[in-house]
Amino acid sequence: MLAPFALCGCSGVQSALDPAGDESAIVANLFWVMVIGGAFIWIGVIGTLLFAISRRERPVSDAGAGRLILWGGAVFPSVTLLFLLAFALWLMPGLRPFATPADASMTVEVTGKQFWWQVAYRLPDGSRVAAANEVRLPVGKRVEFALESDDVIHSFWIPALGGKMDMIPGRRNRLSLLATKAGTFRAPCAEYCGTSHALMAFSAVAMEPSDFDAWLAAQAEPAAGVSGEGREAFLRNGCGACHRVDGTEANATIGPDLSHVGSRKTIGAGILPNTEAAIASFIANPGAIKPDAKMPAFGALPAAEIDAMAAWLKGLE
Amino acid sequence: MIRLLPREVESLWTLFTAPIVWALHFLICYVGAAIYCAKPGLLGLDFAAVRLGIGIVTALALALILLSTLLAWRQWGFGTYDPPHDDATAHSRRRFQGFATLLLSGLSFVAVIFVALPAVFLTECLR
């Protein structure tokens, strides 16, 4: 009866058992070897227990018991653990591949902040494309991640693509991932980082390389809708003191880069669907959606003005 | 070699020989690898030299533990007497200590191999 619930974890956008990357495939493989091996050992132990109970009237000799303890209690576990350890260690170089910068098609810098993700794509030609709360990567190309934190320890984890790596203030940790299947995956913050830790996530999108190149080229330019209505309200209300929108004078990096916020999968770092209504509710009262978020509430503004800003932001694709 | 130490040694120290070798081996492997990975240019060595060093230390540690095992086996009486060795006599006490030393030596032997095993598979530190 519990099986359907247990199997829910085996697929979906945030499952390490539904691999779409090189590294997560190794993790899933290791998991299944351990589970199936563990099941056999469990059956063996319980079988021995039942056998022992069934023949309690006819105890084995001291010598027989000694042999059983030596072989079943010392030799068998030692040899089994030796093989399991060797198997796991043998997988390790593939789990944390030592990509040199030359191997990696590009470096993605991700900085953890309470409670969102600053993202920057560093291209081989030296240019930099800023984004936030979403990481895109080309299928079949190894991508190097440079992981940092601005405040407390966060942890970067895209379960469908690979293992987690902590983001530690003052350190620059490396991780390299290779997506093997296109798709959109959810990536939660995997280290408790404050009140809204559970509300801190991002979407990871693995795209075909040609689609990815086109997408990245579009990200490097201002969004088409940047001169639309709502822009004045955004700038007049001081949003540019924290946010950057490419193509306007808003150029701050305290909050997420909003240059192409309309094309992202979610709003508020993985919390709300990307709709005008969700953007408007976030502007009006971020603390209600994301407790302890640094952004102040703008609920005192006229609703029409908030709606105009939300519509403009949604148009930044 | 079996006659290296007097047969009637009355000391608890022989009991700890193998675990101490295990502890020292553990420290040398982990501290050595940690220093190499933090300061790769310190001695101008590459990671292959670290792995070779771990191999040499491991061979040495296993040899010492084998020696301790042989002495313990002798102290136990080469298996002539069966456990539990719980009589209140000097003879029984010696057999008990020999048997306990033998078991600890076996544990330490396996543990030293487990500690050294990563060096067989890992070829570089991740920085």
- CATH at A111: 2.60.40.420
Using a CB-CB cut-off of 8 Å, the residues of chain B touching A90 are: 121
pLDDT at A36: 93
Average pLDDT, chain B: 86
State whether A51 and A114 are in the same domain.
Answer: yes
Question: What is the pLDDT, as a whole number, of residue A124?
Answer: 81
Co-location of A167 and A299 in the same domain: no
Least-confidence region, from A36-50, A110-124, B2-16, B38-52: B2-16
Q: What is the pLDDT of residues A72-106, one digit of tens each?
A: 889 999 999 999 999 989 988 877 766 565 566 68
Chain B closest-CA separation from residue A289 CA (Å): 38
Name the helix (H) or strand (E) containing B59: helix B47-76
Note whether residue B8 is domain-resident: no
- Select from B83, B106, B122 the Cβ nearest to the Cβ of A93: B122
How distant is the Cα of B51 from the closest Cα of chain A, in angstroms?
Answer: 14
Q: Is residue B87 part of a domain?
A: yes
pLDDT at A213 (0 to 100):
92
Q: How confident is the model at residue B44 (pLDDT cuts 50, 70, 90)?
A: confident
Residue with tokens 């913050």: A189
B78: left (phi over 0), alpha (psi -120 to 50) or beta: left
Residue B47, pLDDT above cutoff 60: yes
Q: What is the pLDDT of residue A101?
A: 56
> Quick one: DSSP state of residue A317?
-
| B-chain residues near A62 (CB < 8 A) | 82
Contact A74 B114 (CB under 8 A): no
- pLDDT of the residue at B6: 61
Q: What is the pLDDT of residue B13?
A: 79
Show residues of chain A in contact with B127, CB under 8 Å. 174
Residue of B47, B54, B123, B126 to mutate, testing the A interface (most A Cβ within 10 Å of its Cβ): B126
* Other Cβ atoms closer than 10 A to A69: 11
Q: Kindly state whether residues A114 and A196 are assigned to the same domain.
A: yes
- The CA radius of gyration of chain A, in Å to the nearest whole number, is 26
Nearest CA distance, B111 vs chain A (angstrom): 9
Domain match, A301 and A184 both = no
Distance from CA of A90 to the nearest CA of B (A): 6
Contact yes or no for A98 and B117 at CB 8 A: no
pLDDT tens-digit series, residues A205-252: 999 999 999 999 999 999 888 887 889 999 999 999 999 999 899 999
pLDDT for the residue A135:
95
In what helix (H) or strand (E) does residue A40 lie, and over which residues does it extend? helix A22-54
Give the residue carrying structure tokens 């050294």: B116
Locate the chain A residue with the closest alpha carbon to B124.
Answer: A98
Report pLDDT for B123.
81
Domain span at B92: 14-121
CA separation, residue A100 to residues A97, A145, A300, B37, B42 (Å): 9, 12, 51, 16, 22
Chain A, chain B: beta-carbon pairs less than 8 Å apart? 32
Is residue A177 located within the same domain as residue A271?
Answer: no
Of A206, A239, A268, which marks where a domain is finished?
A206
The residue of A70, A78, A91, A174 whose CB has the most chain B CBs within 10 angstroms, and thus the best one to mutate to test that interface, is A78
| CA atoms within a 13 Å half-sphere pointing along the CA-CB vector of A68 | 11
Answer yes or no: do A174 and B117 touch at CB < 8 A.
no
Which of A86, A93, A174 is nearest residue B123 as measured by Cβ atoms?
Answer: A93
The number of domains in chain B is 1
The reply to whether B1 falls in a domain is no
The rounded percent of chain B whose pLDDT value lies above 70 is 91
* Same domain? A187 vs A288: no
A243 with A157, same domain: the answer is no
A270 and A158, same structural domain? no
The alpha-carbon gap from B1 to the nearest alpha carbon of chain A, in Å, equals 27
* Residue A6: inside a domain: no
Say yes or no: A142 and A287 in one domain. no
ipTM: 0.82
Is A195 contained in some domain?
Answer: yes
pLDDT value for B111:
96
Nearest to B121 among A66, A74, A90 (CB): A90
Q: Check pLDDT > 60 for residue B1.
A: no
Residues A200 and A232 in one domain: no
B126: in domain: no
Q: Do A86 and B110 touch (CB under 8 A)?
A: no
Q: Percent of chain B at pLDDT above 90?
A: 41
Where among A153, A176, A206 does a domain terminate?
A206
| Below-50 pLDDT ranges, chain A | none
- A198 plus A240 within the same structural domain: no
Partners of residue A73 in chain B, C-beta under 8 Å: none
* Residue B100: inside a domain: yes
Of the candidates B110, B117, B126, the beta carbon closest to that of A98 is on: B126
**In the 8-state DSSP scheme, what is residue A70?**
I
Same domain, A183 and A147: yes
Q: For residue A91, what is the nearest residue in chain B, using CA coordinates?
A: B121
Q: How many domains does chain A have?
A: 2
Domain residues for the domain of A182 are: 12-59+96-206
Q: Can you tell me the distance from the alpha carbon of A283 to that of A230, in angstroms, rounded to the nearest whole number? A: 13
- Kindly indicate the confidence band of residue B3, based on its pLDDT and cuts at 50, 70 and 90: low
HSE, CB side, 13 Å, CA atoms: give it for residue B76.
Answer: 22
Whether B120 sits inside 8 A of A89 (CB atoms) is yes
Q: What are phi and psi of A244, to 5 degrees?
A: -115, 135
